[in-house]
Amino acid sequence: MLLKMPGADALSRRERHEISSGCGKRTYLMEQMQKGNVETVAELLREGTLDERTRKELLQARDENGSCFLHYAVYGASVGSMECLELALQECKRAGERLDMTAKDFCDESTPLILSAFTNDTFVIEKTLELTCENGQIEAIYERDKGFATIAGHLAQRARGHEGIKNVLAKVISLAGPGGAGKLKRGEKMYLMKKKEFTGQLNELDCDQLVYILNYWRLGKSLNASAMTEKKKLIEVILMATP
């Protein structure tokens, strides 16, 4: 047995096998990430607990749907599972490794960030966004899944009547910059389709959130007090900022 962690003798035969099983099966690390067992995840990822080969297998393992252990933290949709995700990023960074928060599963091509939208949990979505950016992978905002939807598109579908998700959507668009998560750009072949997509996302926001976007882009100073309460005008200004 390759484990050196305290209490390893108490693990079942199945758990021992799944610790290093990465051939289309759910690994022990995936399970612990989903359950939010922070102490166990800390032991598994700490340098010296596992031999290098097993550690590498755990970090690269995919289940039958192509989900990695990062996806499983989001599946857990709890404070504990998010702590596990943060811990994993920190431990790997400390070991000189960089986890890929843009990793996509094989079925829907969902990144952990896109997957977070399906939890409908504002905390989980915001925390996944925060950790993705802290990991230096803000480009995950622009990734599209198999259905050609970005994280912004999925949030827009869930924003109506949900103030928390509206706020996260505004934050995503702000971070994405002019053109939004779909990278709307004048003169490109898909301009009209992307403009419709982006306009639909903006329409799900309230005036305060639209002003937040413009202020983040440092375009709010050009607005007078009246314009700040006119949703149609605010959307028009945001679209005009398109590169």
**What is the per-residue pLDDT across 105-156, written as a single tens digit (0 to 9) for each?**
999 999 999 999 999 999 999 999 999 999 999 999 999 999 999 999 999 9
pLDDT score recorded for residue 169: 98
Give the three-state DSSP class for 63. strand
Model confidence at 20: pLDDT above 80: no
Which whole number is the average pLDDT over 203-229?
Answer: 89
| Residue 12 predicted with pLDDT over 80 | no
User: pLDDT tens, 47-59?
Assistant: 788 888 898 999 9
Higher pLDDT, 163 or 48: 163
Q: Would you list the domain boundaries of the chain?
A: 1-146, 149-243
pLDDT confidence of residue 208: 95
- Global pTM reads 0.88
What homologous superfamily does CATH list for 1-146? Ankyrin repeat-containing domain (1.25.40.20)
pLDDT category, 195, cuts 50, 70, 90? very high
Q: What pLDDT, on a 0 to 100 scale, did the predictor assign at position 69?
A: 97
Measured distance CA(101)–CA(103) in Å, rounded? 5
Arithmetic mean of pLDDT, 186-202? 97
Q: Check whether 5 has a pLDDT greater than 60.
A: no
CA–CA separation, 70 and 82 (whole Å): 10
The pLDDT score that the predictor gives to residue 24 is 63
> For tokens 């949900």, what's the residue?
162
Q: Tens digits of per-residue pLDDT, 69-116?
A: 999 999 999 999 999 999 999 999 988 889 999 999 999 999 999 999
DSSP state of 149: -
21-25, 35-39, 183-187: the lowest-pLDDT one? 21-25
Quote the pLDDT of residue 10: 36
Asked if pLDDT for residue 161 goes beyond 60, the answer is: yes
**With 70 as the cut, is the pLDDT of residue 171 above it?**
yes
- The residue with greater pLDDT, 198 or 56, is 198
Following DSSP, what letter does each residue of 72-119 receive, concatenated? HHHHH-SHHHHHHHHHHHHHHHHTT----TT---SSS---HHHHHHTT
CA separation (Å) from 77 to 71, 222, 228, 230? 10, 40, 36, 36
Radius of gyration of the chain (CA): 21
More confident residue, 97 or 191: 191
Reported as a pLDDT band with limits 50, 70 and 90, residue 8 is very low
122-157 burial, b for 16+ CB within 10 Å, e for fewer? bebbbbbbebbbebebeebbbbbbeeebbbbbbbbe
Percent of the chain scoring above 90 in pLDDT: 79
